[in-house]
Amino acid sequence: MARPAAGEMLRAALGAGLALAGSALLLDAMGGLVASSMRPGLIAPLGASAFLLFAVPNSPLAQPWSALVGNAASALVAVLVLALGLETGLAAGVAVCGAMAAMAVLRAMHPPGAAVALATVLIAADGTPVGLDFVVVPVLLDTALLVLFALGWNRLTGRRYPFRVPASAHGTADPPPQQRLGLTADDLTALLQRTNQSANIGAEDLGRLLAAAEAEAARRRFGALVCADIMSRDVVTVGADASLATVAALFRQHRFKSLPVVDGDGWLEGMLSQTDFVAAWPEAAPLHARAGAALGRLVRRAPAQTARDVMATPRSVAPNDPVGVLVELLADGAVEAVPVVSSRRLIGIVTRSDFLALLAQRRILPEPPTA
């Protein structure tokens, strides 16, 4: 297994530690509000739950349904097994077996649930009364607190939890263009089920991995071709302090959809697209209007702002970067052109039209023979 990045290790470990410590403090505060027989406290299997919720929050095993239902169902199974009056060792085995079966039926696979079942039997063997209330307090209460901490910490540190399929940048149900060919989400789900991997990785994560692998394959498919080979070199630019009237005039004159914004030394400061330009004042550009007329009305009605106020931070490439890196950058509508930069200085630009021309040429023309 590859070693995780240091920042990710620290993020997960610190989050799990703070969550368990915070849960313990809250449980201690709640202890004075309930009868001694129902006094809440941390249970050992929660350490394993914390690892999943904070270290691998995308895993199907770590989702709130899996954690809450998995732990609670396992505790319930163990309590029912204890009612049979079996010897401790036999009861432990039956409880873990039943807990795993229950989690599978409920689609709430959570490995610490098996530890919850075992801990419930062992707690009862030590003479502590264990009844149905044990399922609620401490098992369900402890798990709920941990899930709440995970919700906050993961979002605070940039992780998506609970896992959700990212929404389309266009607000539609279509997947990104690079994921529309090949296997569908249903195909991926069926594949994971056939290989008994559905508990280890979600279909969405598998889809992203396959898309990344295909993008890497595309990078290699172009061989030694680099961005400098296909970029436009006579680049029309605009200064960061240029008025919006100047920007609109350049858009109308050259019929570009994107303009690089540079300083006096030619250093790239940003990219300005027609989409960003019009989106700043949507009321000035009716949908039925032609782009040129809409831009003209926009400038007359817009406040006195400059290109710096509208431009976006671009993702750039170097002249010697392989052409394949452009596949992902230009795949969706958010980026129309990618600036080519050397030592922060703009030396060219690759538009979606440039890349489509390359793809068409590679598709039509035969591959050169290899020696």
Q: Using H for helix, E for strand and C for coil, what is the string for 35-96?
A: CHHHCCCCCCCHHHHHHHHHHCCCCHHHCHHHHHHHHHHHHHHHHHHHCCCCCHHHHHHHHH
pLDDT band at residue 16, thresholds of 50, 70 and 90? very high
Number of neighbours of residue 302 by Cβ within 10 angstroms: 19
Beta strand pairing status for 268-273 and 337-342? unpaired
> Is 203 exposed, middle or buried (CB count within 10 Å of its CB: 0-12, 13-18, 19+)?
buried
Give me the pLDDT at residue 297, please.
56
Q: Quick check: 274 and 205 in contact, CB under 8 A?
A: no
Angle at CA 353, nearest 5°, toward 350 and 355?
Answer: 60
Q: Quick check: 46 and 72 in contact, CB under 8 A?
A: no
Give me the pLDDT at residue 287, please.
39
**Residue 17 reports pLDDT greater than 70:** yes
4: Cβ contacts below 8 Å, ≥ 6 apart: 12
Residue owning tokens 């930069």: 341
Tens digit of each residue's pLDDT (9 = 90 or more) over 185-217: 788 888 888 888 877 787 778 877 887 777 677
pLDDT band at residue 3, thresholds of 50, 70 and 90? confident
Give me the pLDDT at residue 192, please.
86
Give me the pLDDT at residue 285, please.
47
Q: Name which residue leads in pLDDT, 41 or 69.
A: 69
What distances in angstroms separate CA 278 from CA 124, 192, 326, one per listed residue? 68, 44, 26
Tens digit of each residue's pLDDT (9 = 90 or more) over 327-339: 778 876 567 899 9
Number of neighbours of residue 344 by Cβ within 10 angstroms: 13
Tens digit of each residue's pLDDT (9 = 90 or more) over 263-292: 988 899 999 888 777 766 554 444 334 555
Q: Name which residue leads in pLDDT, 179 or 352.
A: 352
Tens digit of each residue's pLDDT (9 = 90 or more) over 214-238: 767 766 667 678 899 889 999 999 9
**All domains in the chain, ordered by first residue:** 6-156 (no CATH), 227-364 (3.10.580.10)
pLDDT band at residue 346, thresholds of 50, 70 and 90? very high
- Peptide bond before 162: cis, by omega within 30 degrees of 0? yes
pTM above 0.85, yes or no: no
**Residue 86 reports pLDDT greater than 80:** yes
